[in-house]
Homo-oligomer: A and B are copies of this chain.
């Protein structure tokens, strides 16, 4: 399981509350490891029990108190251990692919419309990623360490979305052509 480890990575960059973490998981790290606030609160609790993170309450004026979490020595050890351990390659789970595969058992036109919708969603995400790339990493060849790693992740997201847009276009063209015949 990598949610703990994704949280460790994120907290190691910057300590924060569960709420703040949930927001980070809405973007950046959450692009390749999505998690909701419920998951994060629950996992943080477990991580305190494991002593991977410490927690202290911070009073705020005009706002509710918050609990700020920080990675402990044990947490850094666990992260290092996990980083060096082999894992399974990611598995895809694609509703859309199942729909395309089953298109001839229902309304093919509806599946074509769904493909087109996803194509646009992926194109939008791609634009977001490309804008990040342009703004945050204008000169990639100079990057090193953490900045390089952040850049590489973004590159992975860009490649994945490009691939999906291209696949949607390929499938759309073929299915529309088939529909006309």
Contact = CB atoms under 8 A, between A and B. Distances in A.
A180 to B, nearest CB: 11
B92 A153 contact: no
Copies per complex of this chain: 2
Nearest to A124: B89
A156 B118 CA distance: 14
A59 interface: no
Most chain B CB neighbours (cut-off 10 Å) among A29, A91, A95, A122: A95
Contacts of A93: 2, 32-34, 90
Contact of A105 (B34, B76, B125, B164): B76
Contacts of A107: 80, 83-84
B80 A106 contact: yes
Interface string A88-110: 11111111111111111111001
A152 interface: yes
A70 to B, nearest CB: 14
A152 B166 contact: no
Contacts of A160: 92, 160, 163, 167
A155 B171 contact: yes
Given A87-B95, A122-B89, A102 B152 contact: no
A95 B155 contact: no
Interface of A: 2, 5-6, 8-9, 12, 29, 31-34, 76, 79-80, 82-84, 86-107, 110-111, 114, 117-118, 121-122, 125, 143-146, 148-150, 152-153, 155-157, 159-160, 162-164, 166-167, 170-171, 174-175, 178, 181
